[in-house]
Structure 1
């Protein structure tokens, strides 16, 4: 079978296409999956692009979707022919206490899904949404579940709420779609007027170009008659957090899910305290969150936005396109 291996020295030059022995037959409690698709996330890019990020060679990619080829003894949840999709934190089945590191995350702490076949414990995957392609299903593992947890699980999203989404990456577009499907108002930001036109087509009620309006937090306040957004899906980190605090209403919810602008920076703590806001860091979600999200996707009819797809042997090209920032929604990997 074919797979991509990221050599230990790291960096995109260290990605190697290999032809290796097939995945083993599943043992008790395991399934063997023919992987057909993955999708790119910022976490995958960090793992692959930073020299020295890993101490050992690793098969990259945390997302994987495909078909069950064989089941081991004792597996009753899945059968041969079922479409399944991976889970970001395989050991986090349910409950509020999620992992605080990536030691069990595919493509980081353990080998990921940039390969044609994989044998894993059955609880490492869930069923895919009914009627979805493998490429579509591969988008839910990281980006989709993150948006679901930010707005629904932790945010308690209700019809009539106002949601602010930053940028047009996979998490933000999923958050926009979820918010609209659940009866919320959405204000979206981007540095591209062309992309802002596209988010309006997806249902955004108001848009802001943050390059031409650097005080976009105040603009969100203005657009909400001074009240602010009930939820802010914060993907930028240090360079955007102050504006997100301004944008959120008093006692509002800010879901900190990304660090696109850096790993650390100043936080206007006095303003955060005075406005009594809830700033919550989160990383994806549990297996139960993903199962509930799949049900919600089938009920609402939401389908993911995939900008373009790359073949397995051009994973480097996919990462380079991701780094350019030109994509809208998700980037797929066909395997």
Structure 2
């Protein structure tokens, strides 16, 4: 089998190398997955650049998102059988219920359920653990989630980080999204696109911001009810959002570019609204208006992906709604370096995927 390894965090594309290994044999409670597709996230560029805040295994296999089929199982496995189509949950120790008690020495990704927290020492696929830019992956059975029948492996590979983060942002907190509420999400990145699609499954109104009229039309084609364009040249875009809401404000904000847009996002909130912070996109803006939080009685959440229980619930909703992830481009496994370059330079609209079908 072949796999792609990064010599060390910050090594850049020059540090991405192909290695050959023997195909592993699963031991107790382990499964062997034939990886059929893997997908990029912004974290993968941060790892390449040495900017990712969590620990990274030197020489580890890259990419945390992937899907495939089970080709072998070890003794005691009960959650999968040969031939099952599965994806992999990225984080560890969150299967169900409250999220906490990370074990920094753990080697089994198992965030199965519960609120998130304590992730700084988390074992993660494609981080402290080997990732899925490989032909075969040896996994503990607790990490896997069965994928909707209507999705291809390429489509399912896009779900573990971006889709799951969007799902957690919308329904994972103490104020889950309700039908008829309004969601604001920023830009057209992977999380934003999934937030749009998932919010529409809940019967929500979705307002988005973007940088161009061309992207606005694409967002509307995906179901966005309103799009505020040219946010970069409209310094008070929150006023446009409030106008669309008749002055009331929105119920949920999926804030994907914090902290540079955080202040304006807060100003779009209706009373008792919720804002969820996603990711670590760099910004030189550090101002936070705590008065706005207090006056709006707002809930502020920071999240990172989601649990296995979140993943299973999301997949049921995706299957019921026949949701199809937005894919910008698919590359073959042997062109992984070209896929990295494209993802970094092309500003794709949708996910970039590596296929092994």
Is 1:126 aligned to 2:145, yes or no?
A: yes
Is 1:295 aligned to 2:316, yes or no?
A: yes
Q: Deviations over 1:17-52 (max 9, x none)?
A: 222222x21111110010011111111221123279
1:102·1:108 contact (CA, 8 Å) conserved in 2? no
2:260·2:284 contact (CA, 8 Å) conserved in 1? no
Counterpart Cα distance in 2 of 1:117 and 1:102: 26
TM-score, normalised via structure 1 length: 0.95
Is 1:43 aligned to 2:43, yes or no?
A: yes
Could you tell me how far 1:215 is from its partner in structure 2? 1.4
Q: Deviations over 1:220-263 (max 9, x none)?
A: 11110111110011000121111111111122100101222338
User: 2:111 maps to which residue?
Assistant: none
Structural mapping, 1:82-93, within 5 Å: 82-93=84-95
Is 1:207 aligned to 2:208, yes or no?
A: no
Structure 2 spans left out of the alignment, 5+ residues = 100-115
Counterpart Cα distance in 1 of 2:245 and 2:14: 47
Structural mapping, 1:1-335, within 5 Å: 1-8=1-8, 10-22=11-23, 24-50=24-50, 54=56, 56-97=58-99, 98=116, 99-101=118-120, 103-154=122-173, 155-209=175-229, 210-262=231-283, 265-324=286-345, 326-335=347-356
Q: Deviations over 1:290-316 (max 9, x none)?
A: 011111111111110001112233333
Could you say what secondary structure the match of 2:263 adopts?
Answer: helix
Could you tell me how far 1:58 is from its partner in structure 2? 1.3
Q: 1:294 to 1:327 in 2, by over 3 A?
A: same
1:10·1:51 contact (CA, 8 Å) conserved in 2? no
Counterpart Cα distance in 2 of 1:263 and 1:107: 28
Q: Deviations over 1:148-203 (max 9, x none)?
A: 11112224111110111111111111110111121111111111211110010111
Could you tell me how far 1:321 is from its partner in structure 2? 2.5
Alpha-carbon RMSD across the aligned residues, in angstroms, is: 1.8
Could you say what secondary structure the match of 2:185 adopts?
Answer: strand
Counterpart Cα distance in 1 of 2:291 and 2:184: 22
1:172·1:233 contact (CA, 8 Å) conserved in 2? yes
Counterpart Cα distance in 1 of 2:346 and 2:312: 30
Q: 1:140 to 1:30 in 2, by over 3 A?
A: same
TM-score, normalised via structure 2 length: 0.89
2:91·2:122 contact (CA, 8 Å) conserved in 1? no
Q: 1:102 to 1:188 in 2, by over 3 A?
A: farther
Could you tell me how far 1:54 is from its partner in structure 2? 4.1
